[in-house]
Amino acid sequence: VMGVNTRPISTQLHAAADYVPKEGEGKINLLIDLESPKVANMEEMSSGKKVFCRCWLSGTFPLCDGTHVKHNAACGDNVGPLIVTVKSE
């Protein structure tokens, strides 16, 4: 239930063993909850807007604090946040 991947766990583990990382692929989380086996975050919203970090460098993770701007400038990357708005019906 951790994603939209509905394959059996045994198939996922097999796929992981066969996975060929992309050139340059490596750890992207150097800061957040490093002792956790997997950092997933559950967020419940009822209205308004939230800006969520996807660079793993925010001081306010899981929210974005703008650090992606510094990361992009330093590394030539082009990452940015996810902005979720809840539409009142």
Tell me if 55 contacts ligand FES by CB under 6 A: yes
Given ligand FES, its own copies, none, residue 8, with its beta carbon under 5 to 8 Å by kind, binds none
How is residue 75 written in tokens?
Answer: 């590394």
* 65 part of the interface to ligand FES, by CB under 6 A: yes
Helix (H, G, I), strand (E, B) or coil at 18: helix
Instruction: Tell me which residues in 31-50 interact with its own copies (CB under 8 A).
Output: 31, 33-34, 36-47
Q: Is residue 67 a contact partner of residue 31, using CB atoms and an 8 Å limit?
A: no
Residue in 6, 58, 75, 84 binding ligand FES, rule: CB under 6 A: 58
Helix (H) or strand (E) holding 48: strand 48-52
